[in-house]
Amino acid sequence: MIRIYILAIVFILSSFKLTEDKPLTIWLIGDSTMAQKPTNKFPEHGWGMPFANYFNHAVQVKNKAKNGRSTRTFLQENLWQPIVDSLQEGDYVFIQFGHNDESQKHPDRYTSPEDYRINLLEFINETKAKKATPILLTPVSRRYFDKEGKIKQTHLLYSDVVRVLAKEQNVMVIDLDEKSRNLYQQFGDEDSKLLFLDFPSGLHPNYPEGAKDGTHFNEYGARRIAELVLQEIKKQQIGLTTYIVK
């Protein structure tokens, strides 16, 4: 009988230990500016790639962002439902769309501002229903300077939808559109190319003809964008702050 009691106590304590050791999960959903990239696309990096390296062992980052996806196609292609099914109480979901939603030249992904709002609200409500925390992000800015060397807004309408919705739903928001534009302005028109997939021919075997891309980041640019997100996590005292590696 004593042996049975001891085994029962050991089992209970082991269960507590497993619970304590279970990592907190951060889910990333969004588009190519956030997504994981295959090695044949390097040096292209989504900012979600270096973002995962800034947290200690108590946190796991699951980057589910996909190239070319809008809020509409992310839902239609059933990319969201498996995440909902896996969400645990205490998890975080970082939501950053907009690049493809606003692309009227691509009707296969375009989403009107009204439907964009509805889709974001679905992500928010279903995350909250699982007792997880949704965090909205305005779409990270493209690199676009005017003739006077001043960075221009590239997501005005869709970023405003995010800001208003976050306020209405009392959801945390990281204004990555504004923060990234400020970063590009600090670099200036020419030097800001150092953040992007922008280089001449002959420098990288994956891009023998070079690249001139004002949307997607190289490794350095992705890290700088990830650091902007981390700064906002600290500034807003989001619960993840204590897990960030110093």
- Examine the residue annotation and report whether 14 is marked as an active-site residue of this protein: no
Q: Of 32, 159, 180, 192, which residue is the catalytic one?
A: 32
Q: Is the CB of residue 138 less than 8 Å from the CB of residue 176? A: yes
Alpha helices (H) along the chain: 2-21, 48-51, 71-76, 81-86, 113-129, 156-169, 176-187, 219-235
- Examine the residue annotation and report whether 148 is marked as an active-site residue of this protein: no
Q: Is the CB of residue 63 less than 8 Å from the CB of residue 52? A: yes
Q: Of 141, 155, 216, 232, which residue is the catalytic one?
A: 216
- Give the number of other Cβ atoms within 10 Å of residue 164's Cβ: 12
Sequence-distant (≥ 6) Cβ neighbours of residue 48 within 8 angstroms: 28, 30, 34, 35, 36, 61, 63, 65, 226
* Separation CA 231–CA 197 (nearest Å): 24
- Examine the residue annotation and report whether 57 is marked as an active-site residue of this protein: no
Q: Of 89, 114, 148, 209, which residue is the catalytic one?
A: 209
Known catalytic residues?
A: 32, 209, 216
